[in-house]
Structure 1
Amino acid sequence: MPTVLVAGGTGDLGRRVVRELLARGADVRVLTRPASSAADRLFGGTEGVVVTRASSGDPAALRDAVRGVDVVVSTVSGVRDVIVDAQTALLQAAVAEGVPRFVPSDYSADYRYLPPRSNRNLEFRREFAGVLDASPIRATSVLNGAFADMLTGQAPIVLADRKLVLFWSDADQVLDFTSKDDTAAVTAAVALDPTAPRYVEVAGDRVTARELARTMSSLTGEPFRVQWAGTTGLLSAMSKGMRRFSRETDEAFPAWQGMQYLVSMYSGDGQLRRVDNDRWGEGRTWTSTRDVLAAHVASPPQSG
């Protein structure tokens, strides 16, 4: 089996990718920062996992880390200094050591068709894609829409306490959702398949706001309705205004960035166009938005 280096393997998605690679019999190297102890705590003594350390500012250490691996899988998270700068340093090390393949940290909507400057975080991914495509390494990006897990908290779409599902512009716009576990499974499959194309598009579920409202009505026995929250153009203008008057921050998901993601989804600009679940699902039963919402509805409320 191939040896796979996972950058960002101690993160939420990264841990899931490591788990899926191990389940498929791969040898895994987890790349972590020199001062971090999280990898030792999570993977110390785990058969098939080797922890290696290097910073993005140490080219020699990065080359040592990637030497002899068959594919680099990046699951790092952050803004430009991570998505562009740190991944470029890792890419350069991989190229220098003759690593055949590289999977960048995309895991997102399809950024290729977004209007320029409409989504900061996805713009960073598009910028790094240009760097990656100019290199001699074979690359595969995983595009999965939004994480379905976000429907129960981070994404202000389903407002359970108000029995509303919000939408912008069009309640029948198709939205792509994939759970983190499904995304991790696809990423592992991609990492171990040298024939994977440049872009792999999957969606655990494709639903509209109207369908989400029907799902919540069915799960709770109470009527949920869709609520128009404005146009995507208005939401985009609001995000620009909020960003203009916000202090600069290294935070990956300030409120205005969340607005940009909603614009990318409800405008249809980031919608996946070539979903291929059959090839990359490996007979998997995909997690639906109903599954995610049902688990949330059934979970007891947190006290305190």
Structure 2
Amino acid sequence: KSSVTIKCSAAATNLAPGTPVRPTSILVVGATGTLGRQIVRRDLDEGYEVRCLVRPRPAPADFLRDWGATVVNADLSKPESIPATLIGVHTVIDCATGRPEEPIKKVDWEGKVALIQCAKAMGIQKYVFYSIHNCDKHPEVPLMEIKYCTEKFIQDSGLNYIIIRLCGFMQGLIGQYAVPILEEKSVWGTDAPTRIAYMDTQDIARLTLIALRNEKIAKTLLTFAGPRAWTTQEVITLCERLAGQDANVTTVPVSVLKFTRQVTRLFEWTNDAADRLAFSEVKIVPLSPNILFTMQVPSYKIAVPRLEHPHNWCLGCYYLFMLHLIK
């Protein structure tokens, strides 16, 4: 919970007062990620002018340009690179996260604070931030604590915000379980009772735009989740049944993960690994099975009975669909 102060102003980027900004102009931060690319694609399909903030890299994100988006280079860990990317932008959709090899604090806290401060100084009209379901209930997990602190920072910033809490992405199951099982490689599992209500990122993108276009949804906290929450073992069992073959599962007891976390805490260079191991202690419970899109505002809930991608109603249907593409 360190203090981060970033000096950022419209004058610093030569943005003249009164410069008109089109409501359809969107900056997507983290545009190359699993969720970010779906946000970009959906926004473009619905006629928005999309600008993508990506880190400078040897292999440029050409696929974003091919889709019709504008790509600008910046790095959240270098706050001075942020202001220029916000010129002429109406809405910021922030789905960025740090890389696994990076300290969580660098991007997910310090970088986000810098981005939020710049957005406020530059007069951004709407700010969408993706958080984690139940992050307020797990201060012992560093990333969840950072997400919750970022939520509070946004709420105190004066920005017109939408905070969206997510549980997990169905797309992540393909590389983690589906492909290794098909290739007869080992998959990792635990005996933890942790349950995750996975959603297709395409549906998350669609619901995000629904919320964004609704003028009544302002300074609001939302939660998106699938109708059923799955344990790791349930996911593996489902994949085995649909793939028609047994998985080579290496099960790591939660007690071992907890011990490993305690040991890594003894060494400064392994602190980040310990932070990520802390997720083994998180227990996520599903929302009501009839509500996929809820507004956590007293006496106000929005239910979406039909999703564009029916995979969310059946994880098995999604797996079969992806299995067909893989084979």
Same fold (TM over 0.5): yes
Q: Does 1:177 align with 2:202?
A: no
Which residue matches 1:136?
158
Contact 2:292-2:303 at 8 Å conserved across structures = no
Cα distance in 1 for residues equivalent to 2:199 and 2:56: 32
What TM-score do you get using the length of structure 1 for normalisation? 0.73
Which residue matches 2:8?
none
Residue 178 of structure 1: how far off its partner (Å) = 1.4
Which residue matches 1:261?
279
Which residue matches 2:207?
186
Which residue matches 2:258?
237
Give the share of equivalent positions with the same residue, in percent. Answer: 18
Which residue matches 1:276?
293
Q: Which of 68, 90, 93 is equivalent to 2:115?
A: 90
Task: Supply the AA of the counterpart residue of 2:86.
Answer: V
Contact 1:216-1:293 at 8 Å conserved across structures = yes
Which residue matches 2:11?
none
| Cα distance per residue 1:239-289 (max 9 Å; x no partner) | 5225325662697xx4x555433431xx33x65577427656874234232
Cα distance in 1 for residues equivalent to 2:75 and 2:240: 49
Cα distance in 2 for residues equivalent to 1:96 and 1:297: 47
Which residue matches 2:191?
168
- Aligned in 2, Cα 1:5/1:165: closer, same or farther, shift over 3 Å? closer
> Could you list the runs of 5+ residues in structure 2 that have no partner in the other structure?
1-22, 99-103, 295-301
Cα distance in 1 for residues equivalent to 2:164 and 2:199: 11
- Aligned in 2, Cα 1:81/1:212: closer, same or farther, shift over 3 Å? closer
Q: CA RMSD in A?
A: 3.9
Q: Which of 142, 147, 155 is equivalent to 1:120?
A: 142
Cα distance in 2 for residues equivalent to 1:276 and 1:144: 10
Q: Which of 272, 284, 309 is equivalent to 1:285?
A: 309
Q: Which of 242, 249, 253 is equivalent to 1:219?
A: 242
Residue 180 of structure 1: how far off its partner (Å) = 2.8
Task: Supply the AA of the counterpart residue of 1:244.
Answer: R
Which residue matches 2:134?
110
Please state whether the residue corresponding to 1:103 is helix, strand or coil.
strand
Cα distance in 1 for residues equivalent to 2:245 and 2:57: 51
Cα distance in 1 for residues equivalent to 2:211 and 2:303: 10
Contact 1:205-1:289 at 8 Å conserved across structures = no
What TM-score do you get using the length of structure 2 for normalisation? 0.69
Residue 26 of structure 1: how far off its partner (Å) = 1.1
- Aligned in 2, Cα 1:121/1:165: closer, same or farther, shift over 3 Å? closer
Cα distance in 2 for residues equivalent to 1:199 and 1:166: 32
Please state whether the residue corresponding to 1:189 is helix, strand or coil.
helix
Choose between structure 1 and 2 for higher RCO, CA contacts under 8 A separated by at least 6 residues: 1
Which residue matches 2:70?
50
Cα distance in 2 for residues equivalent to 1:272 and 1:249: 34
- Aligned in 2, Cα 1:45/1:154: closer, same or farther, shift over 3 Å? closer
Task: Supply the AA of the counterpart residue of 1:52.
Answer: V
> Could you list the runs of 5+ residues in structure 1 that have no partner in the other structure?
none
Give the number of equivalent residue pairs: 283
Q: Does 1:17 align with 2:39?
A: yes
Task: Supply the AA of the counterpart residue of 1:276.
Answer: F
Residue 174 of structure 1: how far off its partner (Å) = 4.8
| Cα distance per residue 1:11-45 (max 9 Å; x no partner) | 33222210011111111111234667624x23336
